[in-house]
């Protein structure tokens, strides 16, 4: 796939990044090369490959869900600039 300078300029505008006009031609070539590699990956037959979440088989270590360090509400709220009824008070952000 080949990108031109206009496409690179449009991508930059959508991504809200500034690319100098003299750099667009070089960047178009680099992005086209990356897209060519992606097209090559699409040609690989992966029908018999099961989905995986990592390259190594790993089991998560399970532990009992228990509270081991608590009852520090007063110490934690002491750092808050404002508190009310045992909770942090924050400014309203939704109008």
For residue 15, the domain's CATH number is 1.10.20
**How many domains, in total, are found in the chain?**
1
pLDDT at 52: 82
In a domain, 77, yes or no: no
CA 52 centroid distance within chain: 19
- Using CA atoms, how far apart are residues 51 and 57, in angstroms rounded to an integer? 12
In a domain, 61, yes or no: no
pLDDT at 4: 92
pLDDT at 7: 94
Determine phi and psi for 10, rounding to 5 degrees: -70, -45
Digit-coded pLDDT (tens) for 29-68: 999 999 999 999 989 998 988 888 788 877 888 988 887 7
In a domain, 32, yes or no: yes
Instruction: Mark 57-80 as b/e (b = at least 16 C-beta within 10 Å).
Output: eeeeeeeeeeeeeeeeeeeeeeee
């Amino acid at each position: 796939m080949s990108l031109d300078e206009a496409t690179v300029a449009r991508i930059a505008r959508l991504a809200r990044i500034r690319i100098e006009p003299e750099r667009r031609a070089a960047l178009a070539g680099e992005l086209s090369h990356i897209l060519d590699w992606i097209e090559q990956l699409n040609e690989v037959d992966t029908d018999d490959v099961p989905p995986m979440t990592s390259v190594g088989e790993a089991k998560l270590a399970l532990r009992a869900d228990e509270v081991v360090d608590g009852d520090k509400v007063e110490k934690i709220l002491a750092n808050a600039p404002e508190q009310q009824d045992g909770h942090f008070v924050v400014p309203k952000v939704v109008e």
